[in-house]
Structure 1
Amino acid sequence: MTVIVRDLRPDVRADTEGFARVRRLALPFILFTPESIAYDAAHMHPDAHYRPLVAEEDGEIIGTAQVHLAHESREPGQGNLNVYVHPGRTRRGAGSLLVRAAEEYLASVGATRLFAWVLDEPGNRAFAERHGYRSSRSAHFLRLDLANGTLPPLQDPPPGVELRTGADFADDPRPLFELDAETMSDEPSDIAYEFTDYEAWLEETWRHPLLSPELTSVAVVDGRPAAFSAARTDGGTRYGTVMTGTARAFRGRGLAKLAKNHSLHRARTAGYTEAFTGNDAGNDPMIAINKWFGYEICGTEVRHVRELG
């Protein structure tokens, strides 16, 4: 049985289904669908040089890699490769083949430093170290049982604050882009990001097939979005918040918590049974907020870094 590595064919349903299946098994805390896999391949910014790879054994996709440059970084040459193998198909060489192909490709498009998320398990961390990666920051995955858990009661917005949904900004989402860009730039990260490309945000975020404008909540003050909780869904029973944040001028007023609570309640009413989110392991205030909602840590990833050359 021979394992080969090749490019994902985003227009072939068997490929996108295989990619999504491996990711769901290896990383069940993040939402993936065949449609989202195909969309990412078609709509990532050209400067990202995005190249999804698969490892295949006897016609079965057993490993995946998302490979791209961090084109929004203030420092050029930052590359990302995230490799995941089917848990029942490990020790066949798929992971090493994917890493090698990803590294060679990233080097060819100008990467000098590589970043990879690795599940915080002894075997995975040892794999990363054998390939020359050193550990850096870590992040937690959190899960909330929407079907059987108890959410905090809904609260009315304070005076001067209005709650809207992302769908209310369908005609002009630029204010949400500006809020997203400001909050993302303050997120803890190994890479310093600067989000200035509105058209790219529309393609990669706003029009993404997993985004749910109806479940995205926005706290508005004086007509300006002040805080938000952006929601994604998989079209089934799984819901995730991919970003919750507050503009700097409005922090300390509980607006992000208010927005997220309303989003979670609407998600439960809509029939979603599981909620997922993620936090940098050092972001104690946000971890405390999510535990207040009832989230529990269900997994941890460690960022690993390798310098090329």
Structure 2
Amino acid sequence: MTVIVRDLRPGVRSDAEGFARVRQLTLPFILFTPESLVHDLTHTHPDARFRQLVAEEDGEVVGAAQVGLAHESTEPGQGFANVYVHPERTGRGAGTLLARTAEAHLSAVGARTSYAWVLDAPSNRAFAEHRGYTASRSAHFLRLDLANGALPPLRTPPPGVELRTGADFADDPRPLFALDAETTRDEPSDIDTEFADYRAWLDGTWRHPLFSRELTSVVLVDGRPAAFSAARTDGGTRYGTVMTGTARAFRGRGLAKLAKNDSLHRARAAGFTQAFTGNDSGNGPMLAVNKWFGYDICATEVRYVRELG
């Protein structure tokens, strides 16, 4: 039985479904669908040199990888290569071939460094370390039982503060782009990121098939967007917040809690039963906020790094 690695074909439904199946088995804490995977492939900025790879054995997709350049990084040459293998198909060469192909691509497009997220399990960490990767920071996946959990009660915003939804910005989402860009710059990360391309943000965030404008909550202070909680849904019963943050001038006033609580309550009312999110392990303030909501850590992943020769 021979394993081959090739690019995902966006026009072939079975490719996207196979990729999604592997991702769902290995990372059930992140929302994605075959449609969202194809959107990511076809709408990621060209400067990212982004590829989605599949490992195929006897016509079945048994592994997948996402690889590209962190084109929004303030430091050129930063790449990423995240590899996933079907849990029942490990040890047969798919992971090694995917990683080798991904690293060759990064070297060919000028990357000097490869970053990889690895689930915190002995076999996964050993695989990364065998390939010369060194452990860096870690991050947690968190889950909340929306159907049976007890959310904090909704509270009336104080004077001068107003709650809106992302849908209220349909005519001009640029203020949300500015808020997202400011808060993302302060996120703990190995790679400093700066959002400067509004058109790319529209494609990658605002028009993403999983993004829910209706469940995204925005806090206005004196008419200015000050905090938000961006929501995604998978078309079923799963909901996730992919970014919750507050502009620097408005921090320390509980506005992120206000936004996220509003979004969570509306998600539960809409029939969503599970809520997911993720936080860097060094992001103490946001971990405390999510603990206050009742989230539990359900998995941890470790960021590994390797200098490419």
- Please report the TM-score for the alignment, with normalisation by the length of structure 2: 0.99
Equivalence map 1:271-290=2 (5 Å): 271-290=271-290
Q: Distance in 1 between matches of 2:173 and 2:32?
A: 24
Q: Distance in 1 between matches of 2:88 and 2:221?
A: 50
Which residue in 1 is equivalent to 2:112? Answer: 112
Task: Say which SS state the counterpart of residue 84 (structure 2) adopts.
Answer: strand
Which residue in 1 is equivalent to 2:305? Answer: 305
Q: Which residue identity lines up with residue 8 of structure 2 in the other structure?
A: L
Q: Quote the offset at 1:81 in angstroms.
A: 0.7
Which residue in 2 is equivalent to 1:244? Answer: 244
Equivalence map 1:98-137=2 (5 Å): 98-137=98-137
Q: Quote the offset at 1:2 in angstroms.
A: 1.1
Task: Say which SS state the counterpart of residue 261 (structure 2) adopts.
Answer: helix
Task: Say which SS state the counterpart of residue 87 (structure 1) adopts.
Answer: coil
Q: Distance in 2 between matches of 1:86 and 1:158?
A: 50
Per-residue CA distance 1:60-101 (angstroms, 9 max, x = gap): 101110111000011110001111111111111110000000
Which residue in 2 is equivalent to 1:178? Answer: 178
Q: Which moved more, 1:150-159 or 1:295-304?
A: 150-159
Q: Quote the offset at 1:223 in angstroms.
A: 1.4
Equivalence map 1:152-231=2 (5 Å): 152-231=152-231
Per-residue CA distance 1:168-194 (angstroms, 9 max, x = gap): 000000000000000000000000111
Q: Which residue identity lines up with residue 110 of structure 1 in the other structure?
A: G
Task: Say which SS state the counterpart of residue 214 (structure 1) adopts.
Answer: strand
Which residue in 1 is equivalent to 2:51? Answer: 51
Which residue in 1 is equivalent to 2:17? Answer: 17
Q: Which residue identity lines up with residue 47 of structure 1 in the other structure?
A: D
Q: Quote the offset at 1:285 in angstroms.
A: 1.4
How well do the aligned residues superpose, as a CA RMSD in angstroms?
0.6
Q: Quote the offset at 1:308 in angstroms.
A: 1.0
Q: Distance in 2 between matches of 1:85 and 1:157?
A: 46
Q: Which residue identity lines up with residue 94 of structure 2 in the other structure?
A: A
Which residue in 2 is equivalent to 1:28? Answer: 28
Q: Distance in 1 between matches of 2:79 and 2:157?
A: 42
Per-residue CA distance 1:105-140 (angstroms, 9 max, x = gap): 110000000000000011100100000000000000
- The answer to whether 1:65 aligns with 2:77 is no
Structure 1: gaps of 5 or more residues: none
Q: Quote the offset at 1:222 in angstroms.
A: 1.6
Structure 2: gaps of 5 or more residues: none
Q: Which residue identity lines up with residue 216 of structure 2 in the other structure?
A: T
Which residue in 1 is equivalent to 2:3? Answer: 3
Give the length in aligned residue pairs: 309
Q: Distance in 1 between matches of 2:156 and 2:68?
A: 43
Which residue in 1 is equivalent to 2:149? Answer: 149
Task: Say which SS state the counterpart of residue 213 (structure 1) adopts.
Answer: strand
Q: Distance in 1 between matches of 2:86 and 2:134?
A: 23
Runs of 4 or more, structure 1, over 4 Å off, are none
Q: Which residue identity lines up with residue 22 of structure 2 in the other structure?
A: V
Task: Say which SS state the counterpart of residue 17 (structure 2) adopts.
Answer: helix
Q: Distance in 2 between matches of 1:284 and 1:191?
A: 19
Q: Distance in 1 between matches of 2:269 and 2:89?
A: 38
